[in-house]
A = this chain, B = another copy of it.
Amino acid sequence: MNTTSVTSSKVHNFSAGPAILPQEVLAKAAAAVTNFAGKNLSLLEISHRSKEFVAVMDEAQALAKELLNLNDDYEVLFLGGGASSQFYMTAANLLPTDGTAHFLDTGTWSTKAIKEAKKYGNVNVVASSSDTNFNYIPKGYTVPSDGAYLHLTSNNTIFGTQLKEFPTSDIPLVCDMSSDMFSRPIDASKFGIIYAGAQKNMGPSGVTLVIIRKDILGKVERDLPSMVDYRTHIAKGSMFNTPPVFPIYVSMLTMRWVKENGGLAGMAKRNTEKADTLYTEIDRNPLFKGNVAAEDRSVMNATFNVVDEAHAAPFLALCAARNLDALKGHRSVGGFRASMYNAMELDSVQALVQAMRDFETANA
């Protein structure tokens, strides 16, 4: 543990999202805004149907499948509208009016997904941790064996919880992985749909990755708007309309970076080391306490608080003085939240731990 970061001008970016991206990705993204692919034109001003951008889209789709070890039963889309649009698009495409969609309710994002699905059919909540403001992941529930699909949220940014294992089900699994996409190896072939807003581990806001096992589509009788029907985008290779070119390019660069840094196993190693470093200090330091059941703690977003509320403001002030940025917890939880996405280096977490130790010493 060193304390060089205390005097460094490096900003340690703990933002929950939009969030930290690899420095080399940002450098390449900035360069492309000036001159893309040697064309003497900006990436922002070329046709999405130019061969240079078609190559970007192709590589982005291939990288997503390669990282997740998916075969051609799956299609990779990059859509606008945010993961919030997937809350209703999943139901619109998969849930018959007289059918039932099942949900594991782990708070906020799954709660929103439930609300939108109700507009299309019946909803059954298989389990919820709402009784304790979502500070754990419900377990021991009966996995439904019939119904349109089971919807999960793999990681909750606000409460700092994460599903460590995914159930096996005979019905399609639909999973919102917005905040831990590409952070760890998963058996992606278990899922019917995986969707993820880019702005955590993948790229800037403005694009959502949607991965679909094609055989689950076409089973609902509903005259959907073309843009809402996944089949529209699949038929056109995610180019039915002008896609969000720049966010897709940056996402492709980030997936390249993930691949070059050990793939999902490499990310899990990085992320576990960071999370272990922080949670160990949270548990050791008598001035702090974690929010979440230990076995459900998120490797991406650690939520914690001071034991003595009077310490909250001075601790945040110390963090600010040390360029430890965006650590204030979400308003619905309070306290602190340290988001440690793929691109965060261990030294940023070490700088936070050092601040916690120094705060302990100063308040002994």
Contacts and interface: CB of A to CB of B under 8 A. Distances in A.
Contact of A18 (B13, B29, B46): B46
B11 A242 contact: no
Nearest to A11: B40
B18 A39 contact: no
Interface string A19-49: 1110000110111011000011111111110
Contact of A33 (B11, B26, B119): B26
A30 B34 contact: yes
A48 B18 contact: yes
A245 interface: yes
A320 to B, nearest CB: 13
A116 interface: yes
A45 to B, nearest CB: 5
Given A245-B205, A247-B206, A13 B80 contact: no
A223 to B, nearest CB: 5
Number of copies: 2
Contacts of A27: 34
Contacts of A223: 119
A243 interface: yes
B29 A197 contact: no
Interface string A117-144: 0010000000000000000000000000
Interface in A79-117: 79-85, 87-88, 92, 112, 115-116
A81 B80 contact: yes
A173 interface: no
A226 B80 CA distance: 15
Given A80-B206, A207-B206, A247-B244, A226 B42 contact: no
Given A33-B33, A226-B115, A226-B116, A205 B244 contact: yes
A41 B242 contact: no
A46 B245 contact: no
A39 B320 CA distance: 12
Given A47-B326, A80-B206, A81-B80, A18 B225 contact: no
A297 B85 CA distance: 38
Contacts of A19: 45
Interface in A183-229: 197, 199, 203-207, 223-228
Contacts of A205: 48, 242-246
Contacts of A45: 13, 15, 18-21, 26, 204
Interface string A300-338: 000000000000000000000001011000000000000
21 contacts: A11-B41, A15-B47, A18-B45, A18-B48, A18-B242, A26-B45, A27-B34, A29-B33, A30-B30, A30-B33, A33-B33, A48-B205, A80-B81, A82-B241, A82-B242, A115-B226, A204-B246, A205-B243, A206-B244, A206-B245, A246-B247
Interface of A: 9-11, 13, 15-21, 26-27, 29-31, 33-34, 39-48, 79-85, 87-88, 92, 112, 115-116, 119, 197, 199, 203-207, 223-228, 240-247, 250, 323, 325-326
Given A79-B81, A80-B206, 6 more contacts: A10-B40, A13-B45, A16-B47, A21-B45, A88-B226, A119-B224
